């Protein structure tokens, strides 16, 4: 009987400890708040302004750069347009073809991505796939500045 109780006690400790480790690995209580913040941004953010702000950043990129949320790591997201900074992503990765705003990583990735293919596309993504929000034509010419493309997205002609 004593051996049985000892075995049950050990299994209980391992189970509780394992659940605690998994909870921490998944982000703990902060993860839930980050997910609610992200879900709110998917529904309420000014997506047109985000796309307009991201295009010049992408067009100005010559290689991959990661902007961090933490002030002590450089470059910091405060170097990016205010609309991106205010969304509070954990980090922003930029290269000449796309900008990716990651709000959570680890076992549950989600965020926004702006990429250039046949047109500019803003989408949100999770582990379950990408979901397009907004597209805009690529109107680059040799004489047109990146800001001109962004201006046309932010203020479309009617």
pLDDT tens for 57-79 read 999 999 999 998 876 767 888 88
Report d(CA 29, CA 34) in Å as an integer.
9
Q: Give me the number of domains the chain comprises.
A: 1
CA angle (104 as vertex; 101, 106 as ends), nearest 5: 125
Q: Buried (b) or exposed (e) across 97-112, using 16+ Cβ within 10 A?
A: ebbbbbbbeeeeebbb
Domain range for 45: 29-154
Residues in the chain: 158
Q: What is the pLDDT of residue 106?
A: 74
1 falls within a domain? no
What pLDDT shows up at residue 158?
A: 40
Within a domain: 73: yes
State how far the Cα of 134 lies from the Cα of 156, in Å rounded to an integer.
13
In a domain, 20, yes or no: no
11 within a domain of the structure (yes/no): no
**How much of the chain is helix, strand and coil, in % rounded to 5?**
45, 25, 30
Residue 84 lies inside a defined structural domain of this protein: yes
Residue 19 counted as domain residue = no
At residue 138, the pLDDT reads 85
What's residue 143's pLDDT?
41
Is 57 within the bounds of a domain? yes
Q: What is the pLDDT at residue 117?
A: 86
DSSP class of 75? S
pLDDT value for 52: 94
Per-residue pLDDT 10s for the chain (158 aa) are: 888 888 888 888 888 877 666 665 555 666 788 889 999 999 999 999 999 999 999 999 999 999 988 767 678 888 899 999 999 999 999 999 999 999 987 778 899 999 998 899 999 999 889 999 999 998 754 344 445 555 555 554 44
Tokens of 92: 């922003």
12 in a domain, yes or no?
A: no
């Amino acid at each position: 009987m004593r051996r049985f109780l000892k075995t049950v006690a050990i299994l209980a400790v391992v189970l509780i400890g394992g659940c605690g480790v998994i909870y921490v690995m998944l982000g703990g209580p902060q993860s839930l708040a980050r997910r609610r913040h992200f879900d709110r941004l998917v529904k309420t953010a000014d997506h047109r302004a985000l796309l307009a702000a991201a295009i010049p950043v992408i067009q100005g990129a010559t290689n991959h750069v990661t902007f961090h949320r933490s002030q002590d790591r450089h470059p910091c997201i405060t170097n990016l347009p205010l609309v991106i900074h205010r969304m509070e992503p954990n980090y922003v990765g930029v290269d000449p073809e796309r900008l990716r705003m990651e709000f959570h990583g680890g076992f549950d990735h989600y965020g926004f991505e702006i990429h250039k293919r046949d047109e500019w596309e803003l989408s949100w993504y999770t582990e379950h796939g990408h979901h397009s929000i907004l597209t805009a034509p690529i109107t680059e010419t040799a004489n047109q500045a990146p800001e001109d493309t962004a201006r046309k997205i932010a203020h479309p002609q009617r």
